[in-house]
Amino acid sequence: MPAPVTLPVDECSSCPERYPATHELFEDLVHAPEERDRARIRTELIELYWGFAARLARRFRNRGEPEDDLVQVASIGLIKAIDGFDPDRGTGFTSYAIPTILGELRRHFRDKGWDVRVPRRYQELRLEIAAAGDRLTHELARIPSTADLAEHLAISEHDVRESLAAGRAYTATSLHRPLSHREDGASLGDLLSQEESGYAQVEACGVLRAAIGHLAPRERHIIGLRFYHQMTQSEIAAEVGMSQMHVSRLLSRSLDQLRATLVCTSELSGADPAGVAGAADPRIAEPVGTQSVPTPRPRRRTRVALPLAS
């Protein structure tokens, strides 16, 4: 980009157009016979009016866009204005260039300035709602409601709410933004994140399923009856033909073996042993070798005959 010409630049009164030579340059640009001469004159006009375009771009600073980017956009608008200007119409160049440059800047904000792209209709409606809000605040002596805005603009309340929500999508905040100036300080994501226990539970269930497969068939069968079919120790004893005390010992021994396997696996993987052991539940992991587990049978109900009152 060429360096700005040192001229007293003002948007209306103090601009290069007040120098007589600028009008002659535009005449030469239109009637130049050689393309090489046209390119030279065009470059000279761009350098002459570059400061004028930069002044227009500074109108939009402090709106979330870097000033250098705005100046570049304004320069594109200046080039379009120079290429499209016709001096034979009798109007000044600035009268033609200002709307062209400002339109290019507004188009940049509309198409490139949004962090989250929203429909153009809501972008334009958001500006109308902002203007209507200022007007209604003055007329009603209070903050207008959604219904007031919808009635004033002859739109639905849904469109008002959608447009206001779209306005919050213009600038997004990074989750890695620090909350303080300390290097080891927390970030915004630390306030929004939460621990997900499901990952540890899925991993523990996978380990538990493999550990159950290493049990003896009898212990695996008892584990299945206890946690998969939700049977009591007395019902298990009747099912497998042993005492309830023996079933209790086998269950305790099997659970201790499974718990030791989980703790050992968690130590190798670097996870919290207590957390992994607590997340694992034999009821969640289907026992390996389910062919040894009988299908659930309906519970028998015992009917007690009550004496009739005499």
Q: Which domain holds residue 21?
A: 16-112
Kindly state whether residues 101 and 160 are assigned to the same domain: no
Percent of the chain whose predicted confidence (pLDDT) is above 70: 75
CA dihedral 66, 72, 78, 82 (to 10 degrees): 180
Q: What is the DSSP annotation of 14-34? A: SSGGGSHHHHHHHHHHHH-SS
Kindly state whether residues 35 and 93 are assigned to the same domain: yes
Residue 139, judged by CB atoms within 10 A of its CB (0-12, 13-18, 19+), counts as exposed
Kindly state whether residues 103 and 125 are assigned to the same domain: no
Question: Average pLDDT, stretch 5-12?
Answer: 40
Express each pLDDT in 30-49 by its tens digit.
777 777 878 888 888 888 88
Question: Band of the pLDDT at 14, cuts 50, 70, 90?
Answer: very low
Express each pLDDT in 299-309 by its tens digit.
444 443 434 44
Residue 9 inside a domain? The answer is no
Residue 34 inside a domain? The answer is yes
Express each pLDDT in 82-125 by its tens digit.
888 888 787 788 888 899 999 998 888 877 766 677 787 887 88
CB of 229 within 8 A of CB of 293?
Answer: yes
> How much is the pLDDT for 306?
38
> How much is the pLDDT for 31?
73
CATH of the domain at 273: 1.10.10.10
CA dihedral 106, 109, 110, 116 (to 10 degrees): -170
Residue 183 inside a domain? The answer is no
> How much is the pLDDT for 2?
37
Express each pLDDT in 120-138 by its tens digit.
788 788 888 989 999 999 9
Most confident of the ranges 48-57, 88-97, 292-301: 48-57
Kindly state whether residues 247 and 263 are assigned to the same domain: yes
Domain count of the fold of the chain = 3
Express each pLDDT in 182-235 by its tens digit.
766 777 777 776 777 778 788 878 888 888 888 889 998 998 899 888 899 999
Kindly state whether residues 108 and 140 are assigned to the same domain: no
Residue 147 inside a domain? The answer is yes
Kindly state whether residues 142 and 203 are assigned to the same domain: no
Kindly state whether residues 40 and 128 are assigned to the same domain: no
Higher pLDDT, residue 49 or 63: 49
CB atoms within 10 A of CB 181: 6
Kindly state whether residues 20 and 108 are assigned to the same domain: yes
Kindly state whether residues 204 and 279 are assigned to the same domain: yes
Residue 2 inside a domain? The answer is no
> How much is the pLDDT for 118?
76
Least confident segment among 2-11, 73-82, 151-160, 198-207: 2-11
Cα(104)–Cα(84) distance, integer angstroms: 14
Kindly state whether residues 263 and 240 are assigned to the same domain: yes
